[in-house]
Amino acid sequence: MRVTLLGTGTSQGVPMIACDCEVCQSSDPKDHRFRCSAWVQSDDLSILIDTTPDLRSQALRAGIRHLDAVVCTHAHNDHLIGFDDLRRFCDRNRPPLSVYCSSETHERLLTVFPYAFQEDNSPYNSYVRAQAHVFDGPFELGALRFVPVLVPHGRTLTHGFILEENGIRHLAYIPDCAALTESMTEALRDIPVLIIDGLRDKPHPTHMNVPAALAAACTVRAGTTYLTHLTHDISHAQRSPLLPENVFLAYDGLVLDFPT
Ligand SMILES: [Zn+2]
Ligand SMILES: [Zn+2]
Ligand SMILES: [Zn+2]
């Protein structure tokens, strides 16, 4: 299994519009952060986690040529509003694209992109055509098993996912997370790779900051941790040397390979 992080930035992305700070002006590509999403490849399966406002640019940059399924963490715009860009991965001669989401995210998709879920949704060939699969527990795609983990995220709940392949637990992907709950601790215990919300240094009501993410990584005894959903407060080059030895800043284009 291969996981490529297509975006590792907070909801406004980095650089932010009209910001002159050092990180927004940085020429280091690792300080350029699209909104958070990930591309999972396993055998010939190609799966996208979240459809950000940057989806088109992300797909072009990573060279995504087809998708077998899309998996949604939650209904916030920075993870969802690029959904229409999935049109390029839809084909009238094939079944609609499978979209795995919670019932809350499904409702939002039906509100914002109703045409995508209507049978025979358009006389044209190029519209997005999707088939929703509302999950309320683990689901399987080929050799992969996605285990949803319910995560607090301010006034809403979101899902992170533990990814298993052929029964081997590889990683957890939790881009938006306000705190580590007991049930999360249980589910994430000894996870080999943890990709988790680290946002910035200052506390935030709906996201963990860097100290909270480091504490969470310690509590669950994660093997290797990558902090994601980062703001312009975090300089990749300046911050990286200050992190514990098994913790790294995620960056756009980071590829993680997991032997089967
Ligand atoms: Zn987000
Ligand atoms: Zn800035
Ligand atoms: Zn969110």
Ligand 1 mean position, distance from CA 154 (Å): 11
Phi, psi angle pair for 132, to nearest 5°: -80, 140
Q: Which ligand is nearest to the CA of 230?
A: 1
pLDDT of residue 91: 82
pLDDT tens digits, 97-133: 999 999 999 999 999 999 999 876 665 667 899 999 9
pLDDT of residue 157: 84
72, 146 in Cβ contact below 8 A?
A: no
Ligand 1 mean position, distance from CA 174 (Å): 10
141, 41 in Cβ contact below 8 A?
A: no
Per-residue pLDDT of the chain (260 residues; tens, 9 = 90+): 999 999 999 999 999 999 999 999 999 999 999 999 999 999 889 999 999 999 999 999 999 999 999 999 999 999 999 999 999 999 877 889 999 999 999 999 999 999 999 876 665 667 899 999 999 999 999 999 999 999 999 988 899 999 999 999 999 999 999 999 999 999 999 999 999 999 999 999 999 999 999 999 999 999 999 999 999 999 999 999 999 999 999 999 999 999 87
pLDDT of residue 126: 77
Ligand 3 mean position, distance from CA 136 (Å): 19
Q: Which ligand is nearest to the CA of 178?
A: 3
Write the CB contacts of 28 (distance below 8 Å, at least 6 apart in sequence).
235, 236, 237
Ligand 3 mean position, distance from CA 159 (Å): 10
- Structural fold of domain 2-250+253-257: Metallo-beta-lactamase; Chain A (3.60.15)
Write the CB contacts of 107 (distance below 8 Å, at least 6 apart in sequence).
75
Ligand 2 mean position, distance from CA 169 (Å): 37
CA separation for the pair 156, 24 (Å, rounded):
29
